[in-house]
């Protein structure tokens, strides 16, 4: 029933706002909306209430406090030790991803403005600096993810494997932006570790949700596709043979192509990313290829947003529709969507692209990511 309703919504949006056709069938949009809506409902139905990070860590902090008290540590020393552990975790949480960083930066900015306003009025704003305040909110469905990430981020965990993964994830999420320094095998190792941790966690009933989140966050399979394309790009190869351009000009051409291909990371339809990138390559004889490429990707995003808003409006008008989301039939179909096999590129370093090509791709993506992050955080 849900799928039929989404088919009706998608076909309706296509009839009303779509000029021409997408390169992909409308069923791809139906499946994505189906996956997104069911996954969202599954996560909302996880038992428990949202809690702050301090409450989330309460048992661990209490255990540390009890251990220190048993060692006859002083009250001040015990307090400082517990506070330091908590503040380390809070810092890690605030810098775990760009969303958390944005929220943290906004809190800092708002508190600075408030302090300045109060100071101008002759008042003093009491209380801790924003970096020490706990404005976090952890949803029940996030607990298994957070457990793993906090374990990796624990600087007291000196396991060689964990230190390697921690270094890679820090480069991926660092506000300073160090993506370009990530090596292929380190990134592969970190992602495989996270995949197995999520897959082996009994709390994760629907593994495809974590598979999807991991690729949507890391884009590893997409990066491998881009590296494969750069390695195989016949136009650049022909230019080298014909000596039409200098080596530095060819490198800039490669970088520009990587920038264009990386725009595919903005669309959530993981299974068709490679298809779309190949279609873009085949259109490069068109002098307006780049503009059409950007317009096509933006049209996909707009189409999804419009269709989803229509669904939410229907849900507001008829709350009983929510009862049609979690059914045995829907969950059975849901399990088939966005499994790892559906977006696994199967490309690998040395077999499909060189280490030099991977480093070039990561360098360009890292520069673009840093520029985008800086723009977001400075707004």
pLDDT per residue as tens digits for the range 352-367: 999 999 999 999 998 8
pLDDT above 90: percentage of residues in the chain: 47
pLDDT at residue 104, rounded to an integer: 65
* pLDDT, tens only, 248-266: 888 888 999 999 999 999 9
pLDDT at residue 301, rounded to an integer: 94
Is 185 or 321 the better-scoring residue by pLDDT? Answer: 185
pLDDT at residue 116, rounded to an integer: 64
The interaxial angle of helices 289-317 and 2-17, nearest 10 deg, is: 130
Tokens standing for residue 136: 């976090």
Q: Is the pLDDT of residue 271 over 90?
A: yes
Residue 337 pLDDT level (bands cut at 50, 70, 90): very high
Residue 17 pLDDT level (bands cut at 50, 70, 90): confident
pTM score, whole prediction = 0.84
pLDDT at residue 362, rounded to an integer: 94
Residue 131 pLDDT level (bands cut at 50, 70, 90): very low
Q: Is the pLDDT of residue 376 over 70?
A: no
pLDDT at residue 120, rounded to an integer: 62
Is 341 or 69 the better-scoring residue by pLDDT? Answer: 341
pLDDT at residue 286, rounded to an integer: 92
Q: Is the pLDDT of residue 130 over 50?
A: no
Average model confidence (pLDDT) for the chain?
A: 83
- Calculate mean pLDDT across residues 300-321: 93
Per domain, the residue ranges of the chain are 2-49+151-378, 51-138
Residue 52 pLDDT level (bands cut at 50, 70, 90): confident
pLDDT at residue 269, rounded to an integer: 96
Nearest Cα to 52, choosing from 157, 142, 151?
142
State how far the Cα of 256 lies from the Cα of 249, in Å rounded to an integer.
11
Q: Which residues contact 77 (CB under 8 A, 6 or more apart)?
A: 68
Contact 191, 214 (CB under 8 A): yes
Most confident region among 78-87, 138-147, 270-279 by mean pLDDT: 270-279
Q: What angle do CA 277, 269, 363 make, to 5 degrees?
A: 50
State how far the Cα of 310 lies from the Cα of 302, in Å rounded to an integer.
12
- Calculate mean pLDDT across residues 95-116: 65
Q: What is the DSSP string of 241-307?
A: HHT-S-HHHHHHHHHHHHHHHHGGGGS--GGGHHHHHHHHHHTTTSTTHHHHHHHHHHHHHHHHHHH
pLDDT at residue 132, rounded to an integer: 45
Q: Is the pLDDT of residue 106 over 80?
A: no
Is 132 or 97 the better-scoring residue by pLDDT? Answer: 97
pLDDT above 70: percentage of residues in the chain: 81
pLDDT at residue 291, rounded to an integer: 94
- Calculate mean pLDDT across residues 269-286: 93
Neighbouring C-alpha atoms within 13 Å toward the C-beta of 73:
16
């Amino acid at each position: 029933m849900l799928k039929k309703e989404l088919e009706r919504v998608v076909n309706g949006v296509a009839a009303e706002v779509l000029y021409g056709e997408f390169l992909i069938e409308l069923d791809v949009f139906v499946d994505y909306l189906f996956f997104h809506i069911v996954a969202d409902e599954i996560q909302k139905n996880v038992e428990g209430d949202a809690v702050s990070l301090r409450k989330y860590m309460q048992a661990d902090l209490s255990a540390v406090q009890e251990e220190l008290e048993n060692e006859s540590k002083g009250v001040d020393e015990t307090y400082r030790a517990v506070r330091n552990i908590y503040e380390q975790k809070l810092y890690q949480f605030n810098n775990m991803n760009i969303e958390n960083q944005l929220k943290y930066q906004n809190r800092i900015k708002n508190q600075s403005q408030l302090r300045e306003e109060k100071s101008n009025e002759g008042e003093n704003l009491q209380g801790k600096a924003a970096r020490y305040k706990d404005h976090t909110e952890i949803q029940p469905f996030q607990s298994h993810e957070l457990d793993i990430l906090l374990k990796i981020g624990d600087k007291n965990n000196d396991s060689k494997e964990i230190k390697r993964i921690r270094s890679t994830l820090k480069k991926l999420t660092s506000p300073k932006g160090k993506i370009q320094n990530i090596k292929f095998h380190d990134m592969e190792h970190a992602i495989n570790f996270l995949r197995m941790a999520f897959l082996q966690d009994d709390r994760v009933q629907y593994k495809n949700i974590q598979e999807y989140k991991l690729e949507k966050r890391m884009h590893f399979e997409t990066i491998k596709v881009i590296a494969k394309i750069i390695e195989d790009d016949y136009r650049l190869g022909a230019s080298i043979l014909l000596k039409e351009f200098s080596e530095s000009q060819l490198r800039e051409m490669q970088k520009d192509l990587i920038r264009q291909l990386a725009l595919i990371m903005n669309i959530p339809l993981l299974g068709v990313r490679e298809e779309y990138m190949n279609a873009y390559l085949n259109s490069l004889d068109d002098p307006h290829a780049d503009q059409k490429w950007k317009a096509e990707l933006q049209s996909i995003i707009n189409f999804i947003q419009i269709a989803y808003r229509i669904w939410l409006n229907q849900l507001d008008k008829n709350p009983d529709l929510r009862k049609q989301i979690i059914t045995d039939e829907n969950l059975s179909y849901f399990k088939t969507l966005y499994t790892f096999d559906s977006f696994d590129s199967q490309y690998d370093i040395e077999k499909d692209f060189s280490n030099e090509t991977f480093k070039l791709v990561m360098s360009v993506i890292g520069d673009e990511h840093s520029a985008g992050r800086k723009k977001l955080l400075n707004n």
